[in-house]
């Protein structure tokens, strides 16, 4: 049985006080123990978030990291720095990093390798553009994005990846993929993994959906068999919305 996962990706939102207020509320809430809840605050709040959540099952996740061990990379954060404050998971391949910060597949691959070689878990984002979808090239794009990453990893490292299907046209736009569209992609990804690697991996890999998930669409999206949870941006900034989304997967 795959565990359900809900991750709040706060992006460049929430300062120290806002982070504290949110997490103190979250810490006092309960949900089914089988659901993994994670939050991804900004770098400056990671350590404080860890402190607040010390005795809580909520995991703190980084939004990014550099692929080099250390060195002259002004403004960057290393894997070792994250691990030194007990942050053991990182989001890589987010479409905002790809488009706004020009991260290409080579950079993404290096980041993933560094993270996995240092026993960090990776939440790997992939997804097609609107143009790809309109031209009916979305399946091809997704297959390629996954192939580039997965085929380059060692067998035991593939188990350390959580996949997040995030169609670019649905991120922050209010346009979510329909539950059927998302399910179709998630099912396709599992089939591809089964063919390329093995059925065990295909059945065990957790695949999240991300893109305008809200309390009013999450229950239906999470009801699909191949969708194991969500990576939530905008709606994770409102405590009530985020908690409603957690509760909506509880009902599945």
Active-site residue list:
94, 166
Strand pairing partners for 165? Answer: 126, 209
| Tokens coding 43 | 């770098």
Q: Verify binding: residue 167, ligand PGA, rule CB under 6 A.
A: no
* Least distance between ligand PGA and beta carbon 123 (Å): 9
CB 122 within 8 A of CB 161: yes
Q: Which of 4, 9, 89, 124 binds ligand PGA (CB under 6 A)?
A: 9
DSSP for residue 119: T
Length of the chain: 252
* Least distance between ligand PGA and beta carbon 156 (Å): 27
Q: Which is nearer to ligand PGA, 46 or 202 (CB)?
A: 46
Q: Verify binding: residue 246, ligand PGA, rule CB under 6 A.
A: no
Q: Verify binding: residue 40, ligand PGA, rule CB under 6 A.
A: no
Q: Dihedrals φ, ψ of 28, to 5°?
A: -90, 0
Q: Verify binding: residue 64, ligand PGA, rule CB under 6 A.
A: no
Q: What is the DSSP string of 54-84?
A: TTSSPEE-BS---SSSSSS-TT---HHHHHH
Q: Verify binding: residue 57, ligand PGA, rule CB under 6 A.
A: no
What binding mask, one character per residue, do residues 172-211 give for ligand PGA by CB under 6 A, x or -? x-------------------------------------xx
Count of other CB atoms within 10 angstroms of residue 78: 18
| Tokens coding 128 | 């097609």
Q: Which is nearer to ligand PGA, 78 or 127 (CB)?
A: 127
Q: Cα–Cα distance between 87 and 81 in angstroms, integer?
A: 9
Q: Which is nearer to ligand PGA, 146 or 177 (CB)?
A: 177
HEC readout, 138-185: HHHHHHHHHHHHHCCCCHHHHCCEEEEECCHHHCCCCCCCCHHHHHHH
Contacts with 41 (C-beta within 8 Å, 6 or more apart), sequence order:
10, 14, 19, 49, 60
- Contacts (CB under 6 A) with ligand PGA, residues 207-236: 210-213, 231-235
Q: Which is nearer to ligand PGA, 211 or 229 (CB)?
A: 211
Number of residues that bind ligand PGA (CB under 6 A): 13
Q: Which is nearer to ligand PGA, 193 or 245 (CB)?
A: 245
Q: Contact positions toward ligand PGA, by CB under 6 A?
A: 9, 166, 171-172, 210-213, 231-235
């Amino acid at each position: 049985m795959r565990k359900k996962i809900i991750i709040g990706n706060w992006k460049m939102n929430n300062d120290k006080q806002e982070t504290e207020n949110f997490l103190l509320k979250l810490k006092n809430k309960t949900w089914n123990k089988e659901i993994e809840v994670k939050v991804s605050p900004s770098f400056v709040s990671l350590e404080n978030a860890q402190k607040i959540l010390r005795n809580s099952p909520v995991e703190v996740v980084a939004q990014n990291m550099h692929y080099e061990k250390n060195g002259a990379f002004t403004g960057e954060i290393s894997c070792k720095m994250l691990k030194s404050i007990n942050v053991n998971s990182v989001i890589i391949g987010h479409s905002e990093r790809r488009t706004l910060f020009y991260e290409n597949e080579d950079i993404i691959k290096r980041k993933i390798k560094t993270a996995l070689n240092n026993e960090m878990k990776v939440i790997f984002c992939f997804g097609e553009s609107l143009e790809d979808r309109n031209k009916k090239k979305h399946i091809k794009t997704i297959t390629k994005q996954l192939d580039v990453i997965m085929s380059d990893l060692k067998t035991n490292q593939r188990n350390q990846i959580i996949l997040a299907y995030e169609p670019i046209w649905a991120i922050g736009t209010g346009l979510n993929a329909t539950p059927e569209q998302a399910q179709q992609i998630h099912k396709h990804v599992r089939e591809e993994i089964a063919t390329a690697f093995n059925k065990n991996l295909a059945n065990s890999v957790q695949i999240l959906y991300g893109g305008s998930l809200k309390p009013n669409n999450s229950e239906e999206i999470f009801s699909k068999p191949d969708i194991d949870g969500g990576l939530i941006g905008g709606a994770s900034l409102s405590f009530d919305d985020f908690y409603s989304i957690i509760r909506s997967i509880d009902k599945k």
